[in-house]
Structure formats: C-alpha cells, structure tokens
Structure 1
Amino acid sequence: MDAKVPAGTVVIVIDVIRAFTTAAVAFDRGATEIVCAPSVEVGRELRRLHPDRLLVGETSGLKPADFDFGNSPFEMSAAQLEGRRLIQATSNGTRGLVRYPDPAALLAVSALNVGATARWISRNHAGTPCTLVCTGQTAEDWACARYLSDLLHGSEPRRVDLVAGIMDGAAEHARAYARQPAPERVDLSRDLHFCCDVDRSEFAMVGEIRQGHVALARVPC
C-alpha cells in the first residue's frame, strides 16, 4: 500500500476480505455511520467517548473479547443495526483508510459496492485522477481493483473474473491461517458468500476525514 498519493486525487481504498464487505453489509442492515479507526486501541477510545456505538473489528483476524462483533459480514447479516452507529477497527482496511489526509474524495470499496462506487465517482469526480489502494497483498483486492479500474475506464469487466480472484485470495488466506496454531485460525467459510456477492449494495461508502479517523456514510447510487 502506497501512502504517497498526490493531494487532490480520488482515493479508493479496497478491502474485500473482509473489512469493507462487513461495512457494506452493516449499512444494508440499517447502520447510519461507520467510524473507521486506525487501530483497535483507537477504536476502544472512541467507544469510551461514544458508549452508545457498537464496536466491530478484529486483531489478527479474530474478534477481540471486548468487541460487539468481529470483522465478519456473516455476523453483520443477522445483526440488529437499524439506526445504529458503528466503530470499526481492522488490521488492513480501516487502517488504510485513514492514511490519506488530503484527497478530493475518499471511498471504501469491496465487491459488494464496486459498481455503485464507479457510478459515484463518474457522477461526482469525472476527470479527477483516481488512486486505487489495495490494503492487502492477496488476490481478492487486486481483482477488485482491476474490475473497478475497468469500470472507470468504460470497459465491461466480467463478474466471474472478479469472483475467481476473490476465491483465489480466500485460498491464500486459508493457507496462511493453516500455518497458525488452532486457536489463532480464522474460518472464512461463512463470510465468502458475502465477499463474492458482486454489486449487491447500491451505494458508495464515502469517507469524511475527522481527527484521527474516517467516518463512512452510505450514499445511494
């Protein structure tokens, strides 16, 4: 991930497995705002300041004991979130989102809202240079970046290729977790259906930069 992005560009931060898939499902379930923190410690501090907010996220892929939810779209899909505000802290996605202090616009994207994100950018920042940021090194984020880049350049990418890239990335994650002790392994099996659900969500997730964190809003497209 390259933090050296010129000021005034549209910055799109990608995390398919799982941060911004989890965020998109939370918005689908009625969440009104998601505050993205750069660390679990900042997330906890924000929760102390705003005890009515739900705390969501992970460290090393696993839910901290004092968090309300893990970084799981499956968990979000059954949560009662109507009208709730969330604080999300993850190892890659939310940490990456806060690294760009002066963009023309800042967006979070996963496969769920990739098409809506392209439409929002085309309507609001046509002609503005864009930077796509993959927060991880596995295949799913790169596949999503290629898909979004094709959309922004007027091509018609194939959903099947994006899904294949997500599954390749999931396999990479599974191999890495298999090398961990059993208590530290993360089971992605219930989350993958959501991660692969291309264009399920008809909204962009647009960030507002605040002091030390970014607040995401759901913007229908």
Structure 2
Amino acid sequence: MSIVGMDAEVPPGRAVVVIDVIRAFTTAAIAFARGATDIACAASAGLGRELRRRHPDRLLAGEVGGLKPPDFDLGNSPFEMSAALVDGRRLIQATSNGTRGLARCPEPVALLAASAVNAGATADWITTHHPGRPWTLLCTGRSAEDWACARYLAGLLGGPPSSRADLIAGIRQGAADRPDLTLDLPFCEDVDRFPFAMVGAVREDHVLLTRASRRSDVDKSRT
C-alpha cells in the first residue's frame, strides 16, 4: 500500500487511483454527474486533438498551462462544466497532470481517477471489487490538495484515518494565492459529493473513463 508522486514507478498488478483534485478529476466527475457517457483521457493536448480528429462527435476539454486552448470546446474548470451541455455526450479530456498521470500506470489490476468529490465512492469500489489487493494512490500534483486527498482515501481503505476537515484544509492550502480558482474551489472541496467511482480502461493511446456506482447504490437498486 503506498502513496506516491508522479516520479514514482507504479508496479503492475495493483489497484491504482490517480488523484487530481484541482481540477481535472473534479471536472470529470461533474461531467459524469451531468450525463456524459464516457471520457477518453489523453496524456497531452496533442493526443487529445488527434483523438478528436478521429472522433469528431466527442467534445474536447482540458487545458495547457492552466488555460483552455482556443480549439478546445471546454476548459479544465468544474464551474464551467457545471453548466455545460454534456448529457449523452462522449468527451475527450487532456490536462497537464491528471490525464497524464493515468497514462503512467501500465498493467494495473484496476485503474481509477479520483478527487475529493468521489473519494468515498472510489474506496467503496475498490473494497467491493478488489478486497485485499495492494493499492497505490498516485498524486499528480505537487501541492497539498492531492496528497491530502490521498491520505483521506487511504484512511477509507484501512490506512491511518484522515478527516474530512483535514482534506478540506489541504485543498484550501493547495489553492492559496490562486485567485483564478475562486469559482472552481467550492466544487473541488465538496468532499464525497458524488456516489460513483470513475473507472479507467487502458487503450492504446488513452484511458477510457466510465462511471461506476458505489456499492450502496447497487444494493438500493436491487430492493
């Protein structure tokens, strides 16, 4: 069981959670909550553009240097995504950290994308589908928020406990002195807002994320 950064090697055969709180996987979770059917995550803007060239029906979302490129349909903003018309749409996402982190995980037994908004559902999915399996939590950023989310998630998976308050404090620390996050921060710090995990399937040139309900939702649907 381990919490690592982007420079670490990720051994094969583990359940791997790639974390990007500010802002990639908060944005992705909101896209799923608004009805997006799947998200093809590309390791670079160039690969994202190539995917859209091959699949022009998909919307291209993301950032380069924190900013939305002119030829992208959407930026890397939870606030923007919260009003986007994505119901029933397939997306492509390309970001500097989060989607690039997904591409660094060869041969995982399971690969998930997470942020604070779906940490609890991510832990539920892992304990339901891969109980006892070694896991690695990959923090894609160097600032406090991803590491705080990793500690919170590790506590849910049986590691040392970390509170919701500690997670929110870490997110706010990571967002300090960044006025560009004023609209996005309330979304990023909304811990366990969504009851679904985001599960990745490794493809040749991208990772395809789909929404997977947490165990409690599955149980309710059977009653």
Give the TM-score, by structure 1 length: 0.92
* Alignment gaps of 5+ in structure 1: 175-185
Q: Which residue of 1 aligns with 2:103?
A: 98
Residue 122 of structure 1 and its aligned partner are, at CA, apart by: 0.4
Give 3-state SS (helix, strand or coil) of 2:168's partner.
helix
Q: Which residues of 2 match residues 8-157 of structure 1 at below 5 A?
A: 8-153=13-158, 157=162
Amino acid corresponding to residue 73 of structure 1 in structure 2:
P
Residue 156 of structure 1: how far off its partner (Å): 5.2
In the TM superposition, residue 157 of structure 1 has moved relative to its aligned partner by 3.2
Matched, 1:168 2:161: no
Cα RMSD for the two superposed structures: 1.2
- Over the matched positions of the two proteins, sequence identity in percent amounts to 67
Q: 1:92-128: CA deviations, max 9, x gaps?
A: 0000101112000000000000000000000001110
SS at 1:106 equivalent:
strand
Q: What is the rounded CA distance, in whole Å, between the counterparts of 1:43 and 1:3 in structure 2?
A: 24
Following TM superposition, by how much is the alpha carbon of 1:4 offset from its aligned partner in structure 2, in angstroms?
Answer: 1.4
Distance 1:154 1:148 in 2: 9
The SS at the match of 1:55 is strand
- Structure 2 gap segments, 5+ residues each: 1-5, 215-223
Q: Which amino acid aligns with 1:171?
A: A
- How much does 1:25 deviate? 0.4
Task: Give 1:189's aligned residue.
Answer: 182
Distance 2:145 2:123 in 1: 18
Name the residue aligned to 1:208.
Answer: 201
The answer to whether the 8 A contact 2:154-2:161 is kept is no
The residue type equivalent to 1:61 in the other structure is G
CA distance in 2, matches of 1:140, 1:70: 20
Paired position in structure 1 for 2:221: none
Change in Cα spacing, 1:3 to 1:213, as seen in structure 2 (3 Å) is farther
Q: Which residue of 2 aligns with 1:220?
A: 213
Q: Which moved more, 1:3-12 or 1:29-38?
A: 3-12
| Distance (Å, rounded) in 1 between the aligned partners of 2:205 and 2:106 | 10
- What's the CA shift string for 1:67-90, capped at 9, x where partnerless? 011000000000111110000000
Cα shift readout 1:135-185 (whole Å, capped 9, x = no counterpart): 01000000000000011006653211110100000016x2xxxxxxxxxxx
Work out whether residues 3 and 99 of structure 1, in 8 Å CA contact, stay in contact via their aligned partners in 2. no
Deviations along 1:200-220, one digit per CA (max 9) or x if unpaired, are: 110000000001110000001
Confirm whether residue 199 of structure 1 aligns to residue 192 of structure 2: yes
Secondary structure of the corresponding residue to residue 207 of structure 2: strand
| Pairwise CA distance, 1:2 | 3.5
Moved over 2 A (4+): 154-157
Q: Which amino acid aligns with 1:195?
A: C
For residues 144 and 161 of structure 2, the distance between their equivalents in structure 1, rounded to whole angstroms, comes to: 20
